[in-house]
Structure 1
Amino acid sequence: MAQHSDIQRNGPLSGIRVIDLTAVVSGPMSTMILADQGADVIKIERADGDFTRHVATRRGGHSASYLNNNRNKRSVVADLKNPDDIAMIKTLVQDADVFIQNFRPGVVDRLGLSYEVLSVLNPRLVYMSISGFGFDGPLANKPVYDPLIQALSALTTVQAGSDEERPRLVRTILPDKLTAVQASQAVTAALFARERTGKGQKVTLSMLDTVAAFLWASDMNGHTFVGDEMEVEASQSFHDLIYEVKGGYLSISIMQNKHWEALAHATGRPDIIDDERFKTTELRDINRDARLDLTQEMVRDLDRDTLLTALEEAGVPCAPVLTRREMRQHPQLEANGMFVEYDHPTAGRLRQTRPAAVFHGTPATDLRPAPELGEHTAEVRASLTPNPLADAS
């Protein structure tokens, strides 16, 4: 592991330097995860900055999107068409541990920043490439955004419930964010392998592959047994597990027999225990639409908070359906210490989540706001020692 004396971070990745040539969300979120865990992430931006610097929901000249995906990093402005700036990036790479980019396939080759070039300068380099659809094949060079991945991966039809229903987008950029988490995990796995072998490696990851792998764990059972694939995917249920009650909505999730019996008693409907359609876990699954219709009928006229208390006391898995404002005010998230506040020099007081994972042996306690565009350009350039290898490669 290279130790970098010009910036002190704490956390499990302290001493790791990441050169970040990513933009928008999937790449920047992945590098922020690494930065939150103590890595020194140097974000290379063009003169007008990451695209997300310019989107809506702004204060003090900063977008919330940029602030929420780029904290704990340093920003360096570089012109990727300028040979001197390319040489500067190569010099940075020689003393780095990780290089991450999410350009379309082929772009880094034209820039002279491919794995083949950079691994010669630094054989211990972990080189992560993130793409949308993949690195070869008919769609590899197409422009990509999150909804396109949701469509092509079948996530939209999974969300619809069946192949015959109108496809629906998940109302968050799940492929982007899931790819970010997968990328950060893959980088740390490659760093661990390097500790054993002494060698870096190239790692490739596409958003499409990430979502396909994610879906297979629970949504592709009908395509698991070769030769017995489903021709048309039947609806898992015509209902979401969201129930309308007086004063709002609840989610109730019944899996085990004891939970079904507890629901029966908590709602004053012990008769459902003897209903032959719902006697076992398998029967409750086979007759799921009837079960969910019955559950909705049972709870529709009950007060939300009264019912929630009764269900919780009976041991029924349940939760209130919250708005975003209610979520951040919920006592469980408060108990978890999930939200942090700190001051940004120009955007003012910010509220964000802490990193989800808490490292009790190597705590990551740094919290620095997302950088101004080019804030650290002079600092980083001044720390570089000119290296003829970077110019010659």
Structure 2
Amino acid sequence: MFGAPKHFPGGGAVADLDWLAGLRVIEVTTGVAAPLTGRILAELGADVIKVESRAKLDVNRVRVPNAATAGIADEETLRLEGFGLLHEASASKRSIRLDLKNPRGKDLFLRLLDTADAFVQNFAPGWLERLGLSVGGLLDRNPRLIVVSATGYGQEGPLSSQRAYAPIMSSLAGIEGLIGYEDGDVVGASATALADLNCSFYGAYLALAALHGRTETGGGRHLDLSQTEACAALVGEAMIEYARAGKSPGPVGNATPRGDREVVPSADGGWVVIEGLAKDSDEYRDLLAAGRPREDLVSSLRARGIRATPVLSPDEVVADEGFRERGMFQQVEHPVLGPLTTSSIPWHLDGAVPRVRSSSPLFGHDTAAVMAELGLSPAEIATLETDKVLY
């Protein structure tokens, strides 16, 4: 079931997983929610094919790449390949170019879905219908197909047709309303795509459950995921408190159920989180007045039995021995950008993390190979390229 565990620079065992070997996932996605679902399935062993088109590029292929990549390749290549989130969301997959608005492209898409076990998509409801397709029609054609639809607000409801962006969804889900100083104004701006990320993992779990529940002749399912609802599930504790006490939840500053938590500066410009030490105590004032660097302050607090931890920046997380020993990060080689560090899927399975099989694929890199798998000849593929069906 596992390949032999391997150790990569920095520590941590990684293993090739074949749990989903033989399963094929077709993906028409953009952004993070749903692309990350596909990546999870790929690193569990599935063959995940990302269907893309110049007519409607993944948003992560049109964003301005990091300045650090300047000069590595031409501007167009960097625009398509250089944005970091593309590699986090779409590692370990294959990519093909296919214009679904072209009748021949749509026919090839349907033939591809005939070979699939799952179809993952996250465009607003109605896009399939505009192509003359529907989820029901796809399930009639392939009764064992698992369809995962991950959209901002679900397939139905008053917001279902609206565009979804991370801060809007976390605001509607109640997350932003909990961020701010105690008894003060809402500050919000958590600046993390919680709706996308939480929805992606739900999508993977549900896809696995649905795949397990199929029969030889049927059992296909349509899984309708709302990114906003997935995000709202993270504030369940506040909702329960409202139901119990009737008080509308709001910003609580640094308060925790066990007492106050303080985030304090250190002498070297860092920050430290302290729990269980009253800020009006002499001990608290003495510790801060001592002017210790961050690591010294943390060590001193822990020596006194006080819970304390440094606030790490993302680059410090990547370099942290604890995370590296656990295999939280892996290096992959990108054909244009060179070596890249990407986060692992955060699971340990029989003592190893799933290997990141590759960086995100170059745009359309596997088009000819996948078309050949459908039985097309080199001449037919060349004609489709010329006619911009494979576009």
The TM-score range, normalised by the shorter chain, is 0.7 to 0.9
Distance (whole Å) between structure 2 residues aligned to residue 166 and residue 334 of structure 1? 36
After TM superposition, the structure 1 = structure 2 runs for residues 275-294 of structure 1, keeping only pairs within 5 Å, are: 291-294=278-281
Q: CA RMSD in A?
A: 2.7
Deviates more, 1:95-104 or 1:58-67: 58-67
Give TM-score scaled by structure 2 length. 0.79
After TM superposition, the structure 1 = structure 2 runs for residues 291-306 of structure 1, keeping only pairs within 5 Å, are: 291-294=278-281, 297-302=285-290, 303=292, 304-306=294-296
Aligned-partner residue type, residue 275 of structure 2 = S
After TM superposition, the structure 1 = structure 2 runs for residues 121-200 of structure 1, keeping only pairs within 5 Å, are: 121-160=141-180, 164-194=184-214, 199-200=219-220
Cross-structure match for 2:370: 380
**1:42 partnered with 2:49:** yes
Where does structure 2 lack aligned partners over 5 or more consecutive residues?
1-15, 377-391
**1:235 partnered with 2:257:** no
Superposed displacement of residue 236, structure 1: 5.8
Distance (whole Å) between structure 1 residues aligned to residue 252 and residue 97 of structure 2? 50
Task: Indicate if the aligned counterparts of 1:245 and 1:299 stay in contact, CA closer than 8 A.
Answer: no
Distance 1:315 1:198, change over 3 A: farther
Aligned-partner residue type, residue 326 of structure 2 = N
Superposed displacement of residue 146, structure 1: 0.8
Give TM-score scaled by structure 1 length. 0.78
Distance (whole Å) between structure 1 residues aligned to residue 280 and residue 352 of structure 2? 49
Distance 1:173 1:292, change over 3 A: farther
**1:30 partnered with 2:37:** yes
Asked which structure has the greater CA Rg, the reply is: 1
Superposed displacement of residue 112, structure 1: 3.5
Task: Indicate if the aligned counterparts of 2:27 and 2:51 stay in contact, CA closer than 8 A.
Answer: yes
Deviates more, 1:368-377 or 1:156-165: 156-165
Aligned-partner residue type, residue 242 of structure 1 = V
Superposed displacement of residue 186, structure 1: 1.6
Distance 1:27 1:292, change over 3 A: farther
After TM superposition, the structure 1 = structure 2 runs for residues 88-99 of structure 1, keeping only pairs within 5 Å, are: 88-99=108-119
Cross-structure match for 1:51: 59
Task: Indicate if the aligned counterparts of 1:134 and 1:205 stay in contact, CA closer than 8 A.
Answer: yes
Structure having the higher helix fraction is 1
**1:222 partnered with 2:246:** no
Superposed displacement of residue 365, structure 1: 3.4
Distance 1:132 1:240, change over 3 A: farther
Distance 1:30 1:232, change over 3 A: closer
Cross-structure match for 2:89: 69
Task: Indicate if the aligned counterparts of 1:243 and 1:299 stay in contact, CA closer than 8 A.
Answer: no
3-state SS of 1:194 partner? coil
Superposed displacement of residue 298, structure 1: 5.0
Query: In structure 2, which of residues 273, 298, 302 is the aligned counterpart of residue 251 of structure 1?
Result: 273
3-state SS of 1:117 partner? helix
Task: Indicate if the aligned counterparts of 2:152 and 2:164 stay in contact, CA closer than 8 A.
Answer: yes
Superposed displacement of residue 383, structure 1: 0.8
Superposed displacement of residue 68, structure 1: 2.2
**1:107 partnered with 2:127:** yes
3-state SS of 1:187 partner? helix
Distance (whole Å) between structure 2 residues aligned to residue 24 and residue 131 of structure 1? 11
Superposed displacement of residue 297, structure 1: 3.1
Query: In structure 2, which of residues 225, 231, 235 is the aligned counterpart of residue 205 of structure 1?
Result: 225
Cross-structure match for 1:279: none
Distance (whole Å) between structure 2 residues aligned to residue 206 and residue 141 of structure 1? 12
Distance (whole Å) between structure 1 residues aligned to residue 240 and residue 21 of structure 2? 41
Where does structure 1 lack aligned partners over 5 or more consecutive residues?
1-8, 255-262, 264-290, 387-393
Task: Indicate if the aligned counterparts of 2:52 and 2:98 stay in contact, CA closer than 8 A.
Answer: yes
Count of matched residue positions in the alignment of Structure 1 and Structure 2? 340
Deviations 1:333-363 (A, max 9, x none): 2221222223211111111122211322897
Distance (whole Å) between structure 1 residues aligned to residue 301 and residue 216 of structure 2? 51
Deviations 1:37-62 (A, max 9, x none): 21111101112531211212343422
3-state SS of 1:171 partner? coil
After TM superposition, the structure 1 = structure 2 runs for residues 274-353 of structure 1, keeping only pairs within 5 Å, are: 291-294=278-281, 297-302=285-290, 303=292, 304-353=294-343
Aligned-partner residue type, residue 300 of structure 1 = L
Task: Indicate if the aligned counterparts of 1:12 and 1:362 stay in contact, CA closer than 8 A.
Answer: no
